[in-house]
Amino acid sequence: MFSQRDINNAVLDCEKQLAKTRMRLKKVQGLKLTSPTSNEEDSVVLRKKVRLKGFDDESNIGLSLGSGGGGTKKGRRSSLSNEVHEKIKDRIIRTFNLDAGRGLVMMRENGFGRTPEQTARFLLNTGGLNREMIGRALGMGRESLRLYAEGVEMEGLPFFICLRRFLGKFKLPGEAQQVDRVLEAFARAFCKVNPEAFAGGYSVVHGIAFAVVILNTDIHSQNLNKSKHIRMTKDQFIDNTRHMEGCSELSKEFLESIYDDISANEIVHQENKDDLHGNLFSDSVKEGWMKKKAPGIAVTSWRRRWFILTKNPPQLTYFEDEKTNDPKGYIPLVDVGIVKSTKHKKGLELFPENGGTLKSAKYLRGELVVGEHQIAELKAESVEESWSW
């Protein structure tokens, strides 16, 4: 049997070792190479910093990592790498959805977008990305835009199906020059896999696509005053399109079919309802303000936080506010029940369904601290909201 003194000494030794480890990490994180004259040297520093966050091999950064052997030291490292990889990816998604430019920078810094190929793949395949921000990002880079367009499946498909599929993945940027670049990229990608579709080549496809976007806006835009605005007629659309480069020989029947299709069905970008790729925040069930009580503290210690409820994983994540990128903490909801509070009309209580304690985690002075409590107390903004949660 160990005495209480032995246990206290062991705890003290662990704390000393932990403090030393933290000091060494801070020294390595502060490492600067002499004579930083190239981007290659800067990337060396970056890779060292990223590896400290949990990647067991720098070649794994930005890739899906294997789980490895769960019972081995290597397997545990790989599991940690997967967890860190997903947390970094989640933060990139949230940052990108607030500001496309900042999100692209974060992608490059963390290995998700160091090349145009990586950027295009991330924008095309990552669930949870805001469609408007994808459009802005595509307007910023020519090569990543080209690769993005080529990544959309179009081979052997009719022109109009391809255009709808392409434009359904994002919202076109606001500047006319950027819109023109995006549609040119679509035209080149379409003609690359369907070279016989139009005799005039990509310039014809580009012209038709531009005419379709103008028509779609003219007929369906909510910003136009419908009482004063006279929408484009079928004859006007045909005449306008035939005046575009290479489009003079397009048949009347073909252009009429496009006009009828657009009139009946607006081209809209798809929302994130189908983004079920395991990305945090991409399939949020509910978002909103609630107050969280610090466990074991007085009633006055309620803190107002922005909560996001997700089903994959089942979790409550809370932030300082709705625009903050970094979460304040998490409450996993596996085997967790919820009841209305008997103390407050707007209150909710989370509790472990199988007994024991309720797991949670929060960031305290930059470190993730795991907590265990009997219950977690929350307050919604109203009684109706509490029932909604």
* HSE (side-chain half, CA atoms, 13 Å) at 234: 13
Residue carrying structure tokens 């081979």: 155
Helices in the chain by DSSP H: which ranges? Answer: 4-29, 39-52, 73-98, 100-109, 116-125, 131-138, 142-150, 159-167, 176-193, 202-220, 234-242, 252-264, 383-388
CB 170 within 8 A of CB 130: no
β partners of residue 284: 310
d(CA 277, CA 87): 14
Q: From the candidates 83, 175, 249, 266, give the one annotated as an active-site residue.
A: 175
Q: How many C-beta neighbours within 10 Å does residue 190 have?
A: 26
d(CA 184, CA 148): 12
Q: How many C-beta neighbours within 10 Å does residue 24 have?
A: 10
d(CA 246, CA 187): 13
C-alpha angle with apex 27: 21 to 28, nearest 5 degrees? 90
Active site residue 175: yes
Q: At what angle do helices 176-193 and 159-167 cross, to 10 degrees?
A: 130
Which residues are known catalytic residues?
A: 175
